[in-house]
Amino acid sequence: MDKGSKVGGAGSSPMGLMGSTTDEKEEAASSPMRTAETILRLVPMALCISALVLMLKNSQTNDFGSLSYSDLCAFRYLVHANGICAGYSLLSAVIVAMPRPSTMSKAWTFFFLDQVLTYIILAAAAVSVEVLYLARKGDTSITWSAVCVSFGGFCHKATASAIITFAVVACYILLSLLSSYKLFSRFSAPAISNPGKGIEIAGFQG
Per the structure, the complete domain to which residue 58 belongs is given by 30-96+104-186
Q: Write out pLDDT tens, residues 75-110.
A: 999 999 999 999 999 999 999 988 777 788 888 899
* 200 part of a folded domain: no
| pLDDT of the residue at 30 | 66
Averaged over 157-167, what is the pLDDT?
95
- Is the Cβ–Cβ distance between 127 and 74 less than 8 Å? yes
- Is the Cβ–Cβ distance between 142 and 62 less than 8 Å? no
* 173 part of a folded domain: yes
* 148 part of a folded domain: yes
* Domains identified in the chain, total number: 1
Percent of the chain at pLDDT above 90?
Answer: 42
**Comparison of pLDDT for 83 and 141, the residue scoring more:** 83
Query: Looking at the whole model, is its pTM more than 0.95?
Result: no
In terms of C-beta density within 10 A (0-12 exposed, 13-18 middle, 19 or more buried), how is residue 76 classed?
middle
One-letter-per-residue 3-state SS of 40-107: HHHHHHHHHHHHHHHHHCCEEEECCEEEEHHHCHHHHHHHHHHHHHHHHHHHHHHHHHCCCCCCHHHH
* 14 part of a folded domain: no
Q: Return the half-sphere exposure (C-beta side, CA atoms, 13 A cut-off) of residue 118.
A: 17
* 128 part of a folded domain: yes
